[in-house]
Amino acid sequence: MKHTIVFLDRQSLIADMRVPSFAHDWIDHDQTRPEEVAARIRNASIVISNKVKLSADILAQAPGVKLIAVSATGTDNVDLAYCRGHGIVVSNIRGYAVNTVPEHAFMLMLALRRNLLGWREDVRAGLWEKTEQFCLFTRPVNDLHGSTLGLVGYGSLGHGMQKIAEAFGMRVLVAEHKGAAVTRAGHTPFDRVLAEADVISLHTPLTAETRHMISTREFGLMKPSALLINTARGNLVDEAALAVALTSGRIAGAGFDVLSVEPPRDGNPLLELDRPNFILTPHVAWSSREAMQTLADQLVDNIEAFVAGAPRNVVS
């Protein structure tokens, strides 16, 4: 069988793509708008998507699709129930971001903990030039060493975070699932992690259970000195509640790489926060050149394994 492979958002991946070892036609689209998806995958047997949504009504118009190869770890853009019911295999990418996402998260932590943006503002405002001593004391600086990191999500990224945290001399708490009746060995109850952590970092998928897992109640449990880091999914956090928590001083700061809608088209309360204690980056924590090449290689590995009859990285 000669496969037709359609990559719906090739522009999302800056990497060299290895040519699969089986007979195929490969069609790249830099980007695909929602109204273009059905027509583009109608004759495909293999569809590659990073963030393009593949809903049940779209997939019903493409009966030849046998594999959806997600070029990311998250699969919330795919109707998994439809795929299970119609024999479509869904594979994803795993472990490729084990260095790049933790490094980005720690960049945000360090910048906030040491007040990097605040110092930059003060130097630009000429405050250093006006002082009568060699340094400024206009902003607090705190170490990561000796502080407590709370991890929500303990897959490959959570393990990567723990490794770096321990090198910094941090204490690490791994949160149990929110609302869990039993706490597993090596885990700490969710609410206790929020109450004890100096920095809370999110590394969990977006599901119905995790949507808005951090909102007004949870901010009320955190220390006023706590930082919240989110390099996972925007909708894990109630963004309006976060804006209130930051502007009211309920927490000390936050570093986000994700928003609930990406790219933001109709505004977002976090886009309006012009504060030195909030840093927002445009969903790039995953995107080091090294990580993207690893992703591209694994993507082709997934496709070749499926065609060989031994699917790998299958999402149930």
Q: Active-site residue numbers?
A: 233, 262, 283
Place of tokens 């605040």: 118
3-state secondary structure 65-98: CCEEEECCCCCCCECHHHHHHCCCEEECCCCCCC
Q: Which amino acid is at 60?
A: A
| Secondary structure of residue 4 in the 3-state scheme | strand
Question: How many C-beta atoms lie closer than 10 Å to residue 56's C-beta?
Answer: 12
Edge-to-edge strand order for the sheet containing 67-70?
A: 24-28, 3-7, 46-49, 67-70, 89-91
Of residues 194, 175, 205, 198, the one with CA closest to residue 80: 205
Query: Which residues, including other chains, have CB under 8 Å from residue 141's CB and lie 6 or more apart?
Result: 113, 114, 115
Q: Which residue has the tokens 């309360």?
A: 269
Distance between CA atoms of 260 and 237, rounded to whole angstroms?
Answer: 8
Q: Where are the beta strands (DSSP E) in the chain?
A: 3-7, 24-28, 46-49, 67-70, 89-91, 148-152, 171-174, 199-202, 227-230, 253-256, 278-280
In the DSSP assignment, the letter for residue 10 is G
Nearest to 312 by CA among 95, 83, 93: 93
78, amino acid identity: V
Exposure of 261 in the CB half-sphere (CA atoms within 13 A): 7
